[in-house]
Amino acid sequence: MTSSANQQKILVAVVGVGLVGSEFISQLLSIPPQVSHFKLVSLTSSSKTLFAGKESPITPNAQWKSKLAESTAPADLKELTTKLTQLVAEKERVALVDNTSSEDVAALYPVWLKAGIHVVTPNKKAFSGEAALFENILAASRESGAKFLNEATVGAGLPVIAPLKELVATGDKIVRIEGVFSGTMSYIFNNFSAGKPEGPSFSSVVAVAREKGYTEPHPADDLNGFDVARKLTILSRLISSAPSATPSTLPSLQSFASVQTASLIPPALEGISTGDEFLKRLPEFDEEFAKLRVEASKENKVLRFVGVVDVANGQVRAGLEKYPVDHPFATSLGGSDNIIMFHTERYSPRPLIVQGAGAGAAVTAMGVLGDLLKLV
Amino acid sequence: MTSSANQQKILVAVVGVGLVGSEFISQLLSIPPQVSHFKLVSLTSSSKTLFAGKESPITPNAQWKSKLAESTAPADLKELTTKLTQLVAEKERVALVDNTSSEDVAALYPVWLKAGIHVVTPNKKAFSGEAALFENILAASRESGAKFLNEATVGAGLPVIAPLKELVATGDKIVRIEGVFSGTMSYIFNNFSAGKPEGPSFSSVVAVAREKGYTEPHPADDLNGFDVARKLTILSRLISSAPSATPSTLPSLQSFASVQTASLIPPALEGISTGDEFLKRLPEFDEEFAKLRVEASKENKVLRFVGVVDVANGQVRAGLEKYPVDHPFATSLGGSDNIIMFHTERYSPRPLIVQGAGAGAAVTAMGVLGDLLKLV
């Protein structure tokens, strides 16, 4: 009998069974049961809940999709909370995995944490939303000892949050975090700005990115920079809230809207309601973007849409910046990769760099499952 | 009262108080006691042991160096083992941190693990040495549930071992790990081979590296490639021994000596006993190395001393290879950085990349303390 088989298994309830949710369930169930530390006890879609319970958990061969479809119980997070709280009372270790991007689900984290239920999620809403919610999450976790883990909120499966926590917890001083945090923005500018004055038009690159599924249905939802602002908020709060940190020089962010974000949406195109209409009008602004590319090229630079948490200067900002053609953001970056540089007291003058795919169901689900494994 | 204060603290015994050991102790003691999860109960140098015990642990203001110097107890790992085993019997959580590079200390890991003592270390000897020792470590850890953590054995504080474990545990398939794993080799070839046919002589670059303290006192101890072979052995065994892994196609390594390692020591200089004598004779071979550089340059490539764990082709090798001038090993690498690429089923066609300083006391100690934090 191995120690893993002896150890108490963690009971897992999954909320959200879309692309990331399905892939997560598939990865979780592919761990051979004899070495798995988990029992999958519940699934909740937007319409239904399946509560299998700890005695008859959902197994690899269980055809979970059809079972969930057959369930007669409506999606009811209040009822789910009651059942999971009961399991905690029975001395079980319980984790809720939120694979949605819902604000309503995020609003429940403090309730779950207070009840002793661990929360693991790729959902950015809670950690980048209102400061009060974030503080309630911290307080609830401190109170009960239940953990909240959110590696997959920044860079999907890339090691970003865990290494940052480790840097801070071991006493390193973060000077600046700087990166390309959006796979969409990465793809767009890797293709639009390669160091030469000429190249494809901005609108054509955005159109191709949309065809390939790299953008949201409405490209303005990427070009507004909000996704990057949310990720920066998460990193910035993580630095500021670390228990051993010296008083942070970072601004206290009321929400991701407090990040200085330079949107790429031309003001004249603000508020256009459909992606198609937006793309039809975008060529009117190709000349403006082309001018920026020429200017960058004159300085032997490329354009990249980056996020910066500048601890030294107390600034959190997202926007288009210029980088020399021999900078890793120009030379090493490609495809729709994320790249993140940690400039710290110890990693100086050369930063710690992490790079790779920062979006997609498989790597996002991996980031979530990786967090769950940290609870073992 | 926070949960961290409520939680049982981990009692830490440190063996090895040299450069890395001292830095580790300093980082550990810099965590404010009210949030620290640890109590430092013992220190062992090459000559002495200080056993403070759980009631009067070593505190930040304790002047540990002078206390250890004043200790009258000789270094006695057997006695230490008895005392730590007693603490485990008292239901304490105990971790031993081996900051030496000693084979004798490494040989004791199975004893400690079997006794329920967690082992955390940057010492490569155990995990890259005889297969029997490695298997005893695995078995002892499985038996007692005590963990062995060794993030700092590869890339120092860089996230390498933990992400690799996560990739494997979540069901990703490792295709190939490829990297510059030696800070010394990185420095030497970043300076020797920058893509041009001409450049400084090989012996002059090695001499400068030695002056700067980047090489061992005897440069042959770096140029033999053993350090890289050891790191590859650790990664290869980690992949092969993962519980959920499909039967590995990797060769079973009897020790790091089983890695196909192409040493850079000219055969005529094998066995020269002093570093000074070695450096005096090295210029005889400058022409050979210069020829390699010219050949690489003709192909528009640079030379890098890399390590490769090629799972797809069942091969583990270390040696000099050529990379295109626009490859990250050429463009992104600098200083004495490590760079590691993980090519996997999920990270394909573009790999997951980690880069940064892979040696030095501060970042190595951080890797060790980071592991200790994972036990919390």
Q: What's this model's pTM, rounded to 2 decimal places? A: 0.96
The beta-carbon neighbor of A335 closest among B32, B350, B363 is B350
User: Chain B partners of A325 at a C-beta cutoff of 8 Å?
Assistant: none
Reported in sequence order, the residue ranges of chain A that DSSP labels E, i.e. its strands, are: 10-15, 38-44, 49-51, 93-98, 118-120, 148-149, 174-180, 260-261, 301-310, 315-324, 337-344, 352-357
As a whole number of angstroms, the longest Cα–Cα distance in chain A is 69
In this structure, are residues A144 and A116 in contact, taking their beta carbons and an 8 Å threshold? yes
* Contact (CB<8Å) B142/A2: yes
User: Chain B partners of A353 at a C-beta cutoff of 8 Å?
Assistant: 332, 353-356
- Position A1 pLDDT exceeds 60: no
Cβ within 8 Å of residue A355, ≥6 positions away: A158, A328, A332, A333, A337, A338, A339, A340, B352, B353, B354, B355
Band (pLDDT 50/70/90 cuts) for residue A2 is: very low
Beginning with the edge strand found earlier in the chain, give each strand of the sheet holding A49-51 in spatial order: A49-51, A38-44, A10-15, A93-98, A118-120, A148-149
Cβ within 8 Å of residue A147, ≥6 positions away: A118, A119, A141, A375
User: What ipTM was estimated for this complex?
Assistant: 0.95
**Which of A5-19, A131-145, A332-346, B336-350 has the least mean pLDDT?**
A5-19
Q: What is the pLDDT of residue B35?
A: 87
**Which of A168-182, B53-67, B131-145, B299-313 has the least mean pLDDT?**
B53-67
In this structure, are residues B225 and B188 in contact, taking their beta carbons and an 8 Å threshold? no
In this structure, are residues A52 and A40 in contact, taking their beta carbons and an 8 Å threshold? yes
**pLDDT tens-place string over residues B302-318:** 999 999 999 989 999 99
Distance CA A366, CA A31 (A): 12
Q: What is the pLDDT of residue B245?
A: 54
Distance CA B58, CA B42 (A): 8
Cβ within 8 Å of B, A 88-147 = 141-145
Q: Touching check for A373 and chain B: CB below 8 Å? A: yes
Q: What is the mean pLDDT of chain A?
A: 94
Name the residue with higher pLDDT: B369 or B61. Answer: B369
User: Chain A partners of B350 at a C-beta cutoff of 8 Å?
Assistant: 334-335, 337, 356-357
Band (pLDDT 50/70/90 cuts) for residue B34 is: confident
Q: Which class for A167: exposed (0-12), middle (13-18), buried (19 or more C-beta within 10 A)?
A: buried
- Position A281 pLDDT exceeds 70: yes
- List the single best residue of B346, B348, B375, B376 to mutate versus A (max A Cβ within 10 A): B346
What mean pLDDT comes out for the span A242-269?
A: 88
Distance CA B6, CA B33 (A): 13
Distance CA B132, CA B138 (A): 10
- Position B2 pLDDT exceeds 50: no
Cβ within 8 Å of residue A16, ≥6 positions away: A44, A45, A97, A98, A99, A100, A102, A105
Provide the H-helix boundaries in A9-160. Answer: 19-29, 64-70, 77-89, 103-106, 109-114, 125-128, 131-144
Band (pLDDT 50/70/90 cuts) for residue B332 is: confident
**pLDDT tens-place string over residues A304-328:** 999 999 998 999 999 999 999 999 9
Q: What is the pLDDT of residue A199?
A: 97
In this structure, are residues A172 and A244 in contact, taking their beta carbons and an 8 Å threshold? no
Q: Rounded to the nearest 5 degrees, what angle is found at the Cα of A353, between the Cα atoms of A347 and A359?
A: 150
- List the single best residue of A151, A161, A355 to mutate versus B (max B Cβ within 10 A): A355
Q: What is the pLDDT of residue A248?
A: 75
User: Chain B partners of A356 at a C-beta cutoff of 8 Å?
Assistant: 342, 347, 350-353
- Binding-site residue numbers of A are 16-21, 100, 124, 216
Distance CA A216, CA A359 (A): 12
Band (pLDDT 50/70/90 cuts) for residue A244 is: low
Cβ within 8 Å of residue A158, ≥6 positions away: A338, A340, A354, A355, A356, A357, A358, A363, A367, B352
Cα B347 to Cα A332, B15, B150, B155, B338, distances in angstroms: 15, 39, 24, 20, 20
Provide the H-helix boundaries in chain B. Answer: 3-6, 19-29, 64-70, 77-89, 103-106, 109-114, 125-128, 131-144, 161-169, 183-192, 202-211, 220-223, 226-241, 275-281, 286-298, 328-331, 361-374
Q: What is the mean pLDDT of chain B?
A: 94
Q: What is the pLDDT of residue B1?
A: 36
In this structure, are residues B27 and A172 in contact, taking their beta carbons and an 8 Å threshold? no
Residues of A involved in catalysis: 231
Q: Number of helices and strands (H, E) in chain A?
A: 17, 12
What 3-state class would DSSP assign to B54? coil
Q: Where do we find the tokens 């990720």? A: A231
In this structure, are residues B239 and A27 in contact, taking their beta carbons and an 8 Å threshold? no
Cβ within 8 Å of B, A 225-244 = 243-244
Report the relative pairing of strands B49-51 and B38-44 from DSSP bridges: antiparallel
**pLDDT tens-place string over residues B216-251:** 999 999 999 999 999 999 999 999 988 755 667 899
Q: What is the pLDDT of residue A245?
A: 54
- List the single best residue of A144, A180, A346, A376 to mutate versus B (max B Cβ within 10 A): A346
Among A280, A132, A273, A258, CA closest to A204: A280
Cα A90 to Cα A42, A54, A84, A87, distances in angstroms: 17, 11, 10, 5
What mean pLDDT comes out for the span A9-27?
A: 97
Cα A157 to Cα A161, A280, A337, B168, distances in angstroms: 10, 35, 12, 13
Per-residue DSSP letter, A129? S
As given in the structure block, the two tokens for residue A127 are: 């950690």
- Position B199 pLDDT exceeds 50: yes
B83 is catalytic: no
Q: What is the pLDDT of residue A3?
A: 45
Name the residue with higher pLDDT: B32 or B85. Answer: B85
Rg of chain B over all Cα atoms, to the nearest angstrom? 22
**Which of A56-65, A100-109, A194-203, A222-231 has the least mean pLDDT?**
A56-65
Distance CA A123, CA A81 (A): 18
* Cross-strand partners of A331: none
* Cross-strand partners of B260: B317
- Position B362 pLDDT exceeds 80: yes
Among B368, B374, B376, CA closest to B153: B368
**Which of A142-146, B61-65, B154-158 has the least mean pLDDT?**
B61-65
